[in-house]
Amino acid sequence: MSSPESASSEGRRNFLRRIGGLAVGTAGSVGASPAAPSRDTTDSLVFMSATRLAGLIRARKVSAAEAVDAYIRRIESVNDRLNAVVMRAFDRARQEAIALDRRARRRDFAGVLHGVPMTVKDSFDTEGVISTGGTYGRQQYVPSQDATVVARLRRAGAILLGKTNTPEFTLGGVGGINTSSNSLYGSSHNPYDLTLTTSGSSGGAAAIVAAGGAAFDIGSDLGGSIRLPAHMNGVAGLKTTAGRVPRTGHIVGYGGVLDTWQQMGPIARRVEDLALITPVISGPDFRDAACAPVPWRDPHEIEISKLRVAYFAAAGAFRPDDATRETIRRAVGWLGETARAVTESCPVELFEALNATRSKLTMGDGWAWYQRLADKWGTKNVSGEMAQTIASTPQISTAEYVRTWDEADRIKSKLLAWMGSWDVLVCPVAKGPATPIDRIFNAARDGGSLGFPGVFNSTGWPVAVVRCGTSADGRLPIGIQVVAAPWREDICLAVAAYLEARSGGWQPPPI
Amino acid sequence: MSASRLAKLIRSRKISATEAVRLYIARIESVNPKINAVVATCFERALLEAQLADAALSRGSNVGPLHGVPMTIKDSFDTRGVVSTAGTLGRRDFVPAKDATVVARVRAAGAILLGKTNTPEFTLGGGWKGTHNLVYGLTRNPYDPRYQAGASSGGSAANVAAGGAAFDIGSDYGGSLRVPATVNGVVTLKPTYGRTPRTGHIIGYGGPFDSFQQTGPLTRWVEDLALLMPILCGPDDTDCAMAPVPFGDPAAVDLSKLRVAYAIPEDGAPEVKAALLDCVKSFEELGCSVREDAPPKVKELSAARSAFTAGPGPDWMQRLLAANGTKQASPGLWYGGEETSCADFTRACEEMDALKSEQLAWIQGYDLFICAASARGGALPVDDGELERARSQMDRPSRSLSFTGNFNTNGWPAGVVRAGVTSAHPELPFGVQAVAQPWRDDVVIAALAHIERMTGGYVPPRLPA
């Protein structure tokens, strides 16, 4: 197990090696480069970082078959309780591992993820493996083609073990996106406390990665769906910049009025893995028309000492619990030791105004877009309360809808100008740690605000989440959001890695 | 001469910025009464800036790539200290406190603003009259003032063609750079959506129709696009749709390796068809693979865009008028369509995006698409009777696809260069269009440069010197 101290000194050693001119990876060279150096020192195959595991497989200290077997055993031991992996592809995974090991003996590596076992959120198409997206209409749906991100990961050598649970269409289901529950597979459970939610919508993904059932997973985020589960399951996640990663083959894919809100990204135990995986899945695919070929920048080139940090622990009606505020306070303290400037700032009126446009734009057409999604996939009965919600939501006029859209974009402009004063924003993901599965947040009952995860979907800015704290009772993880300006995932990841080194980041769950 | 050549001469002090500015002012004063392209001027400030520019050079200061180069700017862009009406009566006396982003960038690079060029109201209001508004009236074609200048960057293109500026910056929502470039025989590039900020343009960043609007330069020579584009490109702190994609060097494009698709408009003008075939042949001679093929679903995408933009009914334009304090609007102003239900609106958006995705899959198989900017070729007449006759011909159902708005809807880079003159009127020029994959503006510029080498490109109009 890595202690914070050893991780930190390991990080410094790596940093010194790199500024000496070694291994500065770019998106273009990643596929052909040697193994990325890892700062992780964990020995357990199923708990070490994906980066470390990839290095060991490449060095032939561990075979892909051994790794796959270890992860399969782990899934078999924990999944009865977690219900995170909802479809398995174990036989194929074992066969792929054998083939990749054969290639490794010839030193013919598929890519930076050669032999690394992964799971993928069930909202992504996976060739040959049932991909339901949590909806009845796709109960038996076996895609003939991988989603773009899945194809890219498999081409880079990753091995798919199975699919992870998501609410219907990543949005509805039972209890909305604040849980990972649907009528097909039921609820996923939090590995730190089985009575608690994994949050959603990438809840199955975050829970299984936290529990050591996969080296990493790929999630999607339309309103917090990577970040909330990463936070509540104590793992690292990256919601990429809008336009970075294609959505082709995701159940809510490219197109439509909410298109720019939907971003994809990896969920892993360690921040270094996010930096390894994201360049593999980035870049246009000639299907998703909103992707731009913006070069990927190496997080190792970021110097924390040059950064201007903004932070907030609470803002407006958003009043996180004591442990969450304390987590931010500690993170800010660590940053204060190194960063150029640390300033409390939150444009809360803009955040609240943007949140208001989000609900209007989501529901303005009376959920017609959601109904069309259900129709497209042949789902007659949508899960949970969605049918009732659809039936009871009136349409607004198109003129009003367009006015709301204009208003949202005006706010986004103001936020972009605000962000020009900072390099990074550090803030809570949610009010507190995971909540009971059967007690989903209800604004009327619980009061206050859930926070602002959706704001960064509307703006399309990149956000990393990393565990930085623990609940008051010492049991539950608390993650924080590390937000940067568009296309600056490198800053998110550098700051998240720094905070991970100081806090220890992911800790093994008791399960 | 080209802006690039002029910039070099100024930098090497073979000609002073003051001389250049004086020459262009004299040219505007001589031709503008005939074409009404430049509608507001700032000559005194320009001369002052030119003197400062010359002083900087004699001190040996570092100067920008456009140091001392005189330009005009389409009146839909804000220009600090210079009236910017965008052709709407409510802004008749509006003097912005700040330059639009692209204006600030070219000025920071040393360009000197001579004045503003005419545009229809909000770039959308000219109707069949082309570049016409209630503030400044009609802009005419420098090759024959009995003809229109095209719209909506008609003032820009006419003035650049007439030699009244080394370059201009316009905007394109449905062909507004490319149609004027075609009918005034000049060069333009409508860049990829996401390259050039719209901040300070009268229809700026934001709203559901945001992605249709792109801004770009109008020049006489293709080499100027390569000079100007890197200056114009890149995110600012207001336009949220920008992406910092590096601008490829057009000189590094290997033309012989391009996979070229082309479309000949079935019922287009014979000279347009012939010019397109000449272009295609010359690419084939370079070693390119060429194939007659066009993006799929062009008509469907156009219909989906119409259904989408109709959505809010007249409310969208009414708000624009109200926000600018305009009570009397141009008779030809575009108001959208009949308001649709919100569910229909969101569905139209999905349909449009699905078609964009189909077209994107198509262009993966090609590097370059050559087509007409206007199947008709040359400019429309100004005279009402003649315009009516021309319109009735154009209103007939056409078998040819229109390739202007399509590339606003999908946001691909598209440029125009002069390719010939119309057979009906051998003074009136027309251009052809080169289109590439998104973000490959470098390929468009390289292709336009090749076509320019083949056809000779820009020819000065025979207006009085």
**pLDDT by residue (tens digit) across A391-422?**
999 999 999 999 999 999 999 999 999 999 99
Mutate to test the interface with A, among B205, B212, B239, B240 (most CBs of A within 10 A): B240
Whether B324 and B406 share a structural domain: no
Query: Is residue B81 one of the residues assigned to a domain?
Result: yes
Question: Rounded to whole angstroms, how far apart are CA atoms A247 and A259?
Answer: 10
Asked whether residue B354 falls in the same domain as residue B413, the answer is: yes
Concatenated DSSP letters of B213-227: -EEEEEESSTHHHHH
Nearest residue in A to B194, CA atom: A292
Q: What percent of chain B has pLDDT over 70?
A: 99
Report the candidate in A238, A183, A215, A187 with the shortest Cα–Cα distance to residue A435.
Answer: A187
Q: Which of A248, A294, A375, A398 to mutate to test the interface with B (most CBs of B within 10 A)?
A: A398
- Inter-chain contact B439–A413, Cβ cutoff 8 Å? no
Same domain? B443 vs B364: yes
β-strand partners of A265: A219
Q: Are B21 and B125 in contact (CB under 8 A)?
A: no
To the nearest whole percent, how much of chain A has pLDDT over 90? 85
Query: Testing the interface with B: which of A247, A285, A402, A422 to mutate, by most B Cβ within 10 A?
Result: A402
Backbone angles phi, psi at B285, to 5 degrees: -65, -30
The C-alpha angle B106, B372, B296, rounded to 5 degrees, equals 105
Q: Is B152 a catalytic residue?
A: yes
How far apart CA A480 and CA B287 sit, in angstroms, is 56
Kindly state whether residues B272 and B311 are assigned to the same domain: no
Q: Answer yes or no: is B461 within a domain.
A: no
Same domain, B178 and B221: yes
* Same domain? B202 vs B323: no
Within an 8 Å CB–CB cutoff, is residue A284 touching chain B? yes
Nearest CA in chain B to A372: B347
pLDDT of residue A35: 72
d(CA A15, CA B383): 73
The pairing of beta strand B187-190 with beta strand B429-436: unpaired
Domain presence at residue B465? no
**With helix as H, strand as E and coil as C, how does B256-322 read?**
HHCEEEECCCCCCCHHHHHHHHHHHHHHHHHCCEEEECCCCCHHHHHHHHHHHHHCCCCHHHHHHHH
Mark whether B337 and B188 lie in a shared domain.
no
Catalytic residue among B2, B16, B74, B129: B74
Q: Which amino acid is at A1?
A: M
Query: Helix or strand or coil: residue B430?
Result: strand
Torsion angle of the four alpha carbons B25, B27, B32, B34, in this order, in degrees rounded to the nearest 10? 160
**N residues, chain B:** 465
User: What's residue A15's pLDDT?
Assistant: 38
Element (H, E) at B421: strand B414-421
**How high is the pLDDT of residue B393?**
78
Pick from B118, B95, B96, B112: nearest CA to B39: B118
Quick one: pLDDT at residue A439? 67
Question: Does residue B379 belong to any structural domain of this protein?
Answer: yes
Per-residue pLDDT of A326-376, as tens digits, reads 999 999 999 999 999 999 999 999 999 999 999 999 999 999 999 999 999
DSSP B331: T
> Longest Cα pair distance anywhere in chain B, in angstroms?
64
Measured between CA atoms, how close is A324 to chain B, in angstroms?
Answer: 31
User: Which pLDDT score is estimated for A3?
Assistant: 41
Cα four-point dihedral sign B340, B341, B346, B352:
negative
Average pLDDT over chain A reads 91
DSSP state of A308: E
The shortest C-alpha distance from B312 to chain A (Å) reads: 4
The reply to whether B202 and B313 lie within a common domain is no
φ, ψ for residue B130, nearest 5 deg: 75, -130
Residue A202 bears catalytic tag:
no
Token output for B381: 């007449």
**Confidence class for position B335, pLDDT limits 50, 70, 90:** confident
**What integer pLDDT is reported at residue A12 of this predicted model?**
40
Q: What is the pLDDT of residue A14?
A: 44
Is A420 an interface residue toward B (CB < 8 Å)? yes
Q: Are strands A159-164 and A117-121 parallel, antiparallel or unpaired?
A: parallel
Q: What are the backbone dihedrals phi and psi of residue A437, each rounded to the nearest 5 degrees, phi first? A: -55, -35
- Chain B interface includes A365 (CB < 8 A): yes
Which range is least confidently modeled, A12-16, A296-300, A468-472, A491-495? A12-16
Mutate to test the interface with A, among B238, B242, B342 (most CBs of A within 10 A): B342
Rounded distance between C-alpha atoms, residue A266 and residue A116, angstroms: 14
Mean per-residue pLDDT, B19-29:
98
3-state SS class at A215: coil
Q: How far apart are CA A310 and CA A312, in angstroms?
A: 7
Q: Give whole-number Cα distances, B425 to A418, B158, B227, B380, in Å.
A: 55, 17, 33, 11
DSSP 8-class letter at A286 = S
pLDDT for the residue B384: 87
Interface list for chain B against chain A, based on CB atoms closer than 8 Å: 194, 205-208, 210, 235, 237-240, 243-246, 311-313, 315-316, 319, 339-347, 349-350, 353-354, 356-357, 360-361, 363-364, 410-411, 438-439
CB pair distance less than 8 Å for A398 and B206: no
Of B314, B349, B384, the last residue of a domain is B349
Please give, rounded to a whole number of angstroms, the shortest distance from the CA of B198 to a CA of chain A: 12
- How far apart are the CA of B366 and the nearest CA of chain A, in angstroms? 12
Beta carbons within 8 Å of A106's beta carbon, 6+ residues apart: none
Beta carbons of B381 and B387 less than 8 angstroms apart: yes
CA–chain centroid gap for A42, Å, is 22
In terms of Cβ atoms closer than 10 Å to its own Cβ (0-12, 13-18, 19+), residue B146 is middle
Other CB atoms closer than 10 Å to residue A174's CB: what's the count?
Answer: 21
pLDDT band at B267 (very low <50, low <70, confident <90, very high): confident
φ, ψ of residue A290 to 5 degrees: the values are -100, 5
Q: Which of B238, B345, B357 sits opposite A413 (nearest CB)?
A: B238
The answer on pLDDT for A13 being more than 60 is no
Residue of A nearest to B310 (CA): A398
- In sequence order, the β-bridge partners of residue B290 are B260
**Cross-sheet strand order for the sheet of A263-268:** A85-88, A159-164, A117-121, A216-221, A263-268, A236-239, A463-470, A477-483, A424-428, A308-311, A341-344
Top residue of B245, B309, B345, B358 to mutate, by most chain A CBs within 10 Å, is B345
Q: How far apart are CA B415 and CA B139, in angstroms?
A: 22
- The closest of B361, B364, B380, B309 to B338, measured between CA atoms, is B309
Chain B CB within 8 Å of residue A405 CB: yes
Do B232 and B106 touch, CB atoms closer than 8 A?
A: yes
Instruction: List the domain range (segments joined by +) for residue B422.
Output: 3-297+350-455
B463 belongs to a structural domain: no
B167 and B266 in a single domain? The answer is: yes
Q: Using a CB–CB cutoff of 8 Å, tell me whether A375 touches chain B.
A: no
User: How far does A461 lie from chain B, in Å, by closest CA?
Assistant: 10
Is residue B463 scored above 80 in pLDDT? no
B308 with B178, same domain: the answer is no
Who contacts A99 (Cβ-Cβ below 8 Å, separation ≥6)? none
Q: How would you classify residue A353: left for phi > 0, otherwise alpha for psi between -120 and 50, otherwise beta?
A: alpha
Q: What's the CATH code of the domain at B387? A: 3.90.1300.10
Q: Which residue has the tokens 């569910």?
A: B343
pLDDT of residue A4: 39
CA geometry: angle at B27 spanning B21 and B31, to 5°? 150
Side chain identity, residue A242: A
What is the CATH superfamily name and number for domain A31-503? Amidase signature (AS) domain (3.90.1300.10)
pLDDT given for residue B1 in this prediction: 94
Asked whether A502 and A466 are in contact (CB, 8 A), the reply is: no
pLDDT over threshold 90, residue A36: no
Q: Is B180 a member of any domain?
A: yes
Beta strands in B330-409 (DSSP E): 368-372
Q: What pLDDT shows up at residue A255?
A: 97
Predicted confidence (pLDDT) at residue A22 exceeds the cutoff of 50: no
Closest in A286, A395, A417 to B342, CB measured? A395
Q: Which of A399, A412, A413 sits opposite B312 (nearest CB)?
A: A399
Q: Which of A360, A292, A21 shows the shortest CA–CA distance to B413?
A: A292
Closest Cα in chain A to B363: A286
More confident residue, A8 or B100: B100
Answer for the pair B188, B415: CB distance below 8 angstroms, yes or no. Answer: yes
Residue A449 confidence (pLDDT) above 80: no
Q: DSSP character for B402? A: P
Number of CB atoms found within 10 A of residue A142's CB: 12
Instruction: Report helix, strand or coil for A490.
Output: helix
Q: Cβ–Cβ of A366/B342 closer than 8 Å?
A: yes
The two beta strands, A236-239 and A263-268, are antiparallel
User: Between the CA atoms of B428, B267, B310 and B122, what dihedral angle is there, to the nearest 10 degrees?
Assistant: 0
Q: Which residues lie across from B167 on neighbouring strands? A: B71, B219
A28 touching chain B per CB within 8 A? no
Would you state the pLDDT for residue B347? 98
ipTM score of the complex? 0.96
Q: Which residues of B touch A289 (CB under 8 A)?
A: 353, 356-357, 360, 410-411, 438
Q: What is the count of structural domains for chain B? A: 2
Q: If pLDDT is split at 50, 70 and 90, which confidence band does B400 have?
A: confident
Q: Of B94, B92, B93, B96, which Cα lies nearest the Cα of B80?
A: B96
Residue B336: what pLDDT?
Answer: 80
Same structural domain for residues B246 and B102? yes
pLDDT of residue B126: 81
Averaged pLDDT, B305-331? 95
Could you read off the pLDDT of B269-294 as tens digits, one per residue? 999 999 999 999 999 999 999 999 99
The pTM of this model reads 0.94
Cβ distance of A487 and B243 shorter than 8 Å = yes
Yes or no: say if A119 and A159 are a contact pair by the CB < 8 Å rule. no
Is the CB of B360 less than 8 angstroms away from the CB of A289? yes
Residues of B in contact with A295 (CB under 8 A): 246
> Per-residue pLDDT for A451 more than 50?
yes
d(CA A466, CA A270): 8
Which chain A residues are within 8 Å of B438, Cβ to Cβ? 284, 289, 292
CB A270 within 8 A of CB A4: no
Q: For residues B189 and B26, what is the distance between their CA atoms, to the nearest angstrom?
A: 28
Strands B132-133, B137-138: pairing is antiparallel
Closest residue in B to A293 (Cα) is B245
Amino acid letter, B387: L
Identify the three-state secondary structure at position B121.
Answer: helix
Residue where one domain finishes, among candidates B317, B333, B349:
B349
> Are B410 and A288 an interchain contact pair (Cβ–Cβ within 8 Å)?
no
B33, part of any domain: yes
CB-based contact B240 A399, cutoff 8 Å = no
Sign of CA dihedral A165, A169, A170, A172: negative
Please check whether residue B89 is in contact with residue B16, taking contact to mean a CB–CB distance below 8 angstroms.
Answer: no
Mean pLDDT throughout A276-289? 98
Residue B163: pLDDT band with limits 50, 70, 90: very high
Task: Reply yes or no on whether B176 is catalytic.
Answer: yes
At A173 the pLDDT is: 60
For residue A294, the chain B residue with the least C-alpha distance is: B245
**Dist. CA B248–CA A125, nearest whole Å:** 34
The one catalytic residue in B176, B302, B374, B402 is B176
Is B329 contained in some domain? yes
DSSP classification of residue A258: T
**pLDDT value of position A443:** 58
- Could you tell me which chain A residue has the CA closest to the CA of B362? A286
B62 and B117 fall within a common domain: yes
pLDDT of residue B58: 96
Instruction: Measure CB to CB from residue A406 to each of B207, B239, B313 and give the nearest one.
Output: B207
